[in-house]
Amino acid sequence: MKARFLGIAELTDVPDVAVVVDVMRACTVAAWAFARGAERIVLAESLKDALDLKARHPAWAALKDGPPAPGFDLVNSPALLRTADLGGRTVVQKTTAGTVGALAVKDASLVLCAGFVVAEATARVLRERAPRSVTFVVTGEDGRAEEDLACAEYIAARAGGAGTDAAEFLRRAGASRAAVELTQGVRRGSSPEDVPLCLEVDRFPFAMAATVEDSLMVLRRYPVPGHPA
Ligand SMILES: O=C(O)[C@H](CS(=O)(=O)O)OP(=O)(O)O
Ligand SMILES: [Mg+2]
């Protein structure tokens, strides 16, 4: 399996298989939303689209990054989400990087969304599918976000079958600009517990895949052989 690591702006073709990585925090938040019972996550193109969807579907939960805002029910924080009851609900998510990265590869035949919390499940899907090449979308900081690159490289190594120690990858992610800013409370709508939650390797047994459904990009749990979805 050949792996390439690209920022969103570097995507010039439609990949066959794409893994969209946003450790801090969109993909970690998405995984927690599923763990808290969400049925699906609609990835919105814009804040306006998110609010329009919420207005048309009042039972849905709208989520954005940054500070809490009128019309939105949730912020992009795993720590603040982990006590939410989202049983059976649809979440609409709009963030600066993660949701944008997923939408940028919506025409790929397989779009997985990942962070450390679903690393092995994601790698396992790749091992099973065994594509000739995988495009890792490093969503943060124009493809240079160290937490996303480290996680992408870790998943690629695991997908290659190597027995890979997570420690050095986690050290890089923990020293990233995003981790520092989240720890210092520079980023709004956050908790001091967000960084450790984003660095929990294999916290969840499921992978996450996004597909276009009725013109919306919808993220769902993706069954992993040998694990409950
Ligand atoms: O919410 C996040 O972690 C970031 C944006 S910021 O940290 O609020 O500036 O968005 P994401 O798309 O999850 O990287
Ligand atoms: Mg990010």
pLDDT tens-place string over residues 68-96: 999 999 999 999 999 999 999 999 999 99
The full set of domain ranges for the chain reads 2-219
Segment 62-71 mean pLDDT: 97
Distance separating alpha carbons of residues 112 and 143, to the nearest angstrom: 17
- With a 6 A CB cut-off, is 98 part of the ligand 1 pocket? yes
Name the nearest CA neighbour of 222 among 120, 112, 115.
Answer: 112
- With a 6 A CB cut-off, is 148 part of the ligand 1 pocket? no
The strand pairing partners of 4, in sequence order, are 135
Pocket test for ligand 1, best of 20, 25, 208 (most atoms within 8 A of CB): 25
- Residue 138: predicted pLDDT: 98
- With a 6 A CB cut-off, is 66 part of the ligand 1 pocket? yes
CATH code: domain 2-219 is: 3.90.1560.10
The contacts of residue 84 (CB under 8 Å, 6+ apart) are 33, 36, 61, 74
User: 175: CA distance to ligand 2 center in Å?
Assistant: 14
- Residue 207: predicted pLDDT: 98
What is the value of pTM for the model shown?
0.97
Name the nearest CA neighbour of 126 among 116, 109, 112.
Answer: 112
- Residue 228: predicted pLDDT: 57
- The pLDDT tens digits for 187-218 are 999 999 999 999 999 999 999 999 999 999 99
User: 132: CA distance to ligand 1 center in Å?
Assistant: 31
- The pLDDT tens digits for 96-123 are 999 999 999 999 999 999 999 999 999 9
Whose CA is closest to atom 2 on ligand 1? 25
